[in-house]
Structure 1
């Protein structure tokens, strides 16, 4: 008896024989987006119109091809030529980068986070603003909490978590509790992630965390929270393009 996996493989083999490479890339993107839309429906998200999948598939393919070709002609650079320091996660895992930005004079916290798969494709982003005065440590811990809650809500639980706050990463790796405000937030994160089948956390430099950093900076000026699935704002397009390579 044929399984769904076997049926999909048969269909994909036929597409591979009949479609040119460019159209096959779009078809692969469409298949991934359909699966993501199914996951959204399972987790209670609004069922999006099929046209949005087609638009997103063409945009992802355009961005991916732009990332593969840095220079099309002399003096025309498609993406930055410096080598990206962000690394894609292993197959079967998702990478979650988070960051916080503070405007201390106004008492505003900007939160940014991004989820990407093993191909470097964006699954979701967060931009959120909070009118609170907190320490940098608490701000980073709170941003990480929002990123983890977003992962849980979207069913992304096999993750590699990365941030540029060494203090937060070290506290996540410790078994001894920190009873500060930021430390208690980290304990909440640990409690939530007990339900995750697999996760790890690592510290990275700011230049490897630029997508999340720019989202957090942009959030400082936002009017309302933005939780996007598969789409991402223009403020990070050049970073995504570079890091797709």
Structure 2
């Protein structure tokens, strides 16, 4: 059994691969209050860290941070299905959203409706797991979400990602 490693702020967290039969799908949301808009970033990788697909999507309204994270989770599931992913580990840095996605019960709050949309999409997967990651482990999805501020609607990259996002 491995000994847990205590990490401090200067320790860089490393990429962890999903099991070989699953794809890792990271999502993140960003809010641009000055522009009254929000952004979504998604990156899908295989177990060898190869990018399968990624995207930046602009949302033409300013959402609160939890709402954009929930919206991003649904978009990540939809995007994964569009590119043919049916077995995945979905990772995001909002613990509240990840917990909501794992819950069997419906959340009776406005955010619950956004999470329910993601839950509906999850029914189309053969295998799906949810995982909370620290922001340090979600940098690529975060950078893609921030990039959405400068695009008109949606940018998709297949099997590659521009190096300035890394």
Tell me the residue number matched to 1:64: none
> Of 117, 121, 127, which residue of structure 2 is paired with 1:188?
117
- Asked if 2 retains the 8 angstrom alpha-carbon contact of 1:111 and 1:219, the reply is yes
How far does residue 228 in structure 1 lie from its aligned partner after superposition?
A: 1.9
- Residues 139-158 of structure 1: pairs in structure 2 closer than 5 A: 139-158=68-87
- Asked if 2 retains the 8 angstrom alpha-carbon contact of 1:127 and 1:227, the reply is yes
Q: Gapped runs of 5+ residues in structure 1?
A: 1-81, 240-245
- In the alignment, is residue 102 of structure 1 matched against residue 25 of structure 2? no
For normalisation by structure 2, the TM-score amounts to 0.88
* CA–CA distance in structure 2, aligned partners of residues 149 and 104 of structure 1: 26
Q: Which has the higher contact order (CA 8 A, sep 6+)?
A: 2
**Local SS of the residue matching 1:200:** strand
* CA–CA distance in structure 1, aligned partners of residues 146 and 137 of structure 2: 16
Runs of 4+ in 1 over 3 A off after TM superposition: none
- Residues 56-95 of structure 1: pairs in structure 2 closer than 5 A: 83-95=12-24
Tell me the residue number matched to 1:210: 139
Tell me the residue number matched to 1:166: 95
* CA–CA distance in structure 2, aligned partners of residues 231 and 86 of structure 1: 17
Which structure shows the higher helix fraction? 1
Superposed CA RMSD in Å reads 1.4
* CA–CA distance in structure 1, aligned partners of residues 157 and 111 of structure 2: 26
**Local SS of the residue matching 1:220:** helix
For normalisation by structure 1, the TM-score amounts to 0.61
- Asked if 2 retains the 8 angstrom alpha-carbon contact of 1:85 and 1:207, the reply is no
How far does residue 83 in structure 1 lie from its aligned partner after superposition?
A: 4.5
Tell me the residue number matched to 2:65: 136
> Of 199, 203, 223, which residue of structure 1 is paired with 2:152?
223
> Of 120, 133, 137, which residue of structure 1 is paired with 2:49?
120
In our comparison, the structure showing a higher alpha carbon Rg is: 1
Q: Gapped runs of 5+ residues in structure 2?
A: 1-10
**Local SS of the residue matching 1:114:** strand
Which structure shows the higher strand fraction? 2
- Asked if 1 retains the 8 angstrom alpha-carbon contact of 2:56 and 2:155, the reply is yes
